A and B are shown apart, each in its own frame.
Chain A
Amino acid sequence: MRASLTILSLAFGAASPLAAQQTSVVGVRPLAFGGLFPGVPRAVLRTDPASSAQFDLKGHPNGSASLTFLLPAVMTGPAGATLPLVFGGNDAGFSASQSITSQVGFDPRTSYLATFVGNRASVFLGGTANPSVSQRAGTYTGTVTLTVVFF
């Protein structure tokens, strides 16, 4: 009886997957378009070290991960005003070395399967903001969510 109980205890401990304990996604830097002029689009490249968004991932060496963005169509500003955002087919990048200068570009609008080399990697994101000529002045914000499934 006592032996059986011991086995049961170990089983529940192991039921928490090892992968879940060793993986993480952390937002490091927001996607910042800075000052915009009404009617003048502004693109932020994924290679922009100051303005592109950066997520740091912790995974398993040589492991794979599926990267899926939830992208906003607009940012919201004063009195509910909205500012359109566009994400293109090359606006996201994966770096197995966590280097912004060494990325593999991918389309953030679809899931991407990335491969780790070490146990850390980074994902970068750019995009384009399109303020209208009559865009209301003020501060606009939105939210980007990156979901990572580690294999």
Chain B
Amino acid sequence: MHTATKVAGLALVLVAAGAATGRAQNNASMNVTANVFRPITVSADRNLVFGNVFPGQGAQGMALASPSAGHFSITGEPSASVSMAFVVSPLSQGANTLPLSLSGTYNTVDLPAGSILGAFASPTAATLSGGATGQLFVYVVGTVTPAANQAPGNYTGTVQLTVVYQ
């Protein structure tokens, strides 16, 4: 009996100590997540070539499917929304310029037929293809209209395409 009383007394002391501390600890873990998009690449893989044009004969250009049409390839995050912006410099030779008008299409498959590019002066919204790699292809065509007194020579300009995620 004496031994049992000692054990009970010890247990009560332990309980008292726990109550005096009165604390409990809990923890939980949580994920932190992110998805880094693939960088966008833009390749100008074919120049827009008007070839020989003649003064005073009106607008001269090419069809979308022509090998002379300009061609851009874009890759990035599959199914991502992007914005395409163009900067077009004058078609010039020194101080002489050749009137230029551009049009084009874009498509998630590499075909000339596609959605019509809007005004080149403002950005165009598009969506990259799904699948393993997000893709978009842009075809650029246009016309030049040499004046009757157009100075002869080689005229050059640039069409710059910038694509950003939106």
Please list the residues of chain A having a beta carbon within 8 angstroms of any beta carbon in chain B. 1, 4-5, 7-8, 11-12, 14-15, 17, 19-20, 22-27, 29-38, 42, 53, 55, 57, 72, 75, 77, 83, 85, 125, 127, 129, 131, 135-151
Contacts and interface: CB of A to CB of B under 8 A. Distances in A.
B69 to A, nearest CB: 31
Contacts of A31: 30-33
Contacts of B1: 1, 4
A19 B99 CA distance: 83
Given A30-B33, A75-B32, A145-B28, A4 B22 contact: no
A92 to B, nearest CB: 12
A30 B8 contact: no
The bracket for how many chain B residues form the interface is 20 to 34
B8 A136 contact: no
A5 B80 CA distance: 71
Nearest to A131: B36
B32 A144 contact: yes
A19 B24 contact: yes
A148 B15 CA distance: 23
B35 A138 contact: yes
B29 A36 contact: no
B27 A147 contact: yes
Given A4-B7, A55-B28, A143-B31, A36 B23 contact: no
B40 to A, nearest CB: 9
Nearest to B5: A4
Contact of B34 (A11, A12, A29, A83): A83
B19 to A, nearest CB: 8
Contacts of A20: 24
A127 to B, nearest CB: 7
A38 B34 CA distance: 12
Contacts of B95: none
Interface of B: 1, 4-5, 7-8, 11-12, 14-15, 18-19, 21-39, 77, 80, 165
A4 B4 CA distance: 6
A30 B32 contact: yes
A36 B8 contact: no
B36 A12 contact: no
Contacts of A143: 29-32
A29 to B, nearest CB: 8
Nearest to B164: A37
A85 B37 contact: no
Given A4-B1, A4-B7, A30 B31 contact: yes
B22 A17 contact: yes
Nearest to B26: A25
A72 B5 CA distance: 52
A151 B22 contact: yes
Given A17-B18, A57-B26, 16 more contacts: A4-B8, A15-B15, A19-B22, A27-B28, A27-B29, A33-B32, A35-B34, A35-B36, A38-B36, A55-B30, A72-B32, A75-B33, A83-B34, A142-B33, A146-B29, A149-B23
